[in-house]
Structure 1
Amino acid sequence: MTSAPAPPLAPVFAPAGVYAPQHDTALLTRAVTAERPGPGTEVLDLGTGSGAVALHAARTGARVTAVDISWTAVLTARINAARAGCRVRVHRGDLTTPVTGRTFDLVVSNPPYVPAPQETL
């Protein structure tokens, strides 16, 4: 069985300190597409970074909320959503703290890779 190529990523602004979309981002957007979100689907993107995955979900008509702990990432995701004409609610906070009490149909995350010494793995 072969898998379909990852969907193209929309160009996004990613300043220094904010993860720029790469191959793993494209793989995650393909997984989002496979879940078939659409109008009425509530999507949460944790650690949104540039907002690339959130924007992809928003283009399906889903209602998207994105969270990041970095103010730079929050502002970047908001800028990218505005430039793309997508409605994405972007909050600053630690994981799910900004959305406590809410429920979502789909939760996605592409957290940063944090190197660890071999002896701790």
Structure 2
Amino acid sequence: MYAPQEDTELLAGALSDEPLPPGAEVLDVGTGTGALALEAARRGFRVTAVDVSRRAVWAARLNAVRAGFPVRIRHGNLFDPVRGESFDLVLANPPYVPAPDGTGRPRGAARAWDAGGDGRLVVDRICREAPDLLRPAGCCCWCSPRSAART
């Protein structure tokens, strides 16, 4: 978990570009502090947020309470806690920085940046699994270094 960066701001801005009706179901995967989840809730969406880090889940819950938004926040690995549910929009700000070779799996806060050797460890899983959770006409939005550089 780390303080929200530019890519989080890009995704928050993208929420206004999505033609979602009030009450649409939004999933924030890898919520961290809950910044994207709270922005979606502020816009009137029903939000579920997931993170593998217990510390992040705690922080996101605290931030949701402080902001006064009813965000459902769950602990678990990517989509595992929401199997069988469906969403109009899946948001993700996954790690995309390639891990240095031969360093082993990161521990603690460094896990937030671990994207595997090629930088696609989490993104590839999102691409494989998110379609199963999307409602008809649903979409998935995430940041990658290429999209962040173009904006």
TM class by shorter-chain length?
A: 0.7 to 0.9
Of stretches 30-39 and 50-59 in structure 1, the one that deviates more from structure 2 is: 30-39
Distance 1:76 1:107 in 2: 20
Query: In the alignment, is residue 57 of structure 1 matched against residue 35 of structure 2?
Result: no
2:54 to 57, 60, 71: 71
Partner residue of 2:89? 106
Q: CA deviation at 1:112?
A: 2.8
Query: In the alignment, is residue 83 of structure 1 matched against residue 66 of structure 2?
Result: yes
Partner residue of 1:11? none
**Structure 2 alignment gaps of length 5 or more:** 102-116, 119-151
**Structure 1 alignment gaps of length 5 or more:** 1-17
Q: TM-score normalised to the size of structure 2?
A: 0.64
Q: CA deviation at 1:114?
A: 4.0
Aligned length: 103
Amino acid at match of 1:58: A
Q: CA deviation at 1:20?
A: 0.8
Per-residue CA deviations over 1:12-52 (Å, capped at 9, x if unaligned) read xxxxxx22111111101011221143422000000000000
1:44 to 10, 19, 27: 27
Distance 1:36 1:64 in 2: 16
Q: TM-score normalised to the size of structure 1?
A: 0.78
Moved over 4 A (4+): none
**What is the DSSP-based 3-state SS (H/G/I as helix, E as strand, rest coil) of the residue aligned with 1:67?**
strand
Identity %: 60
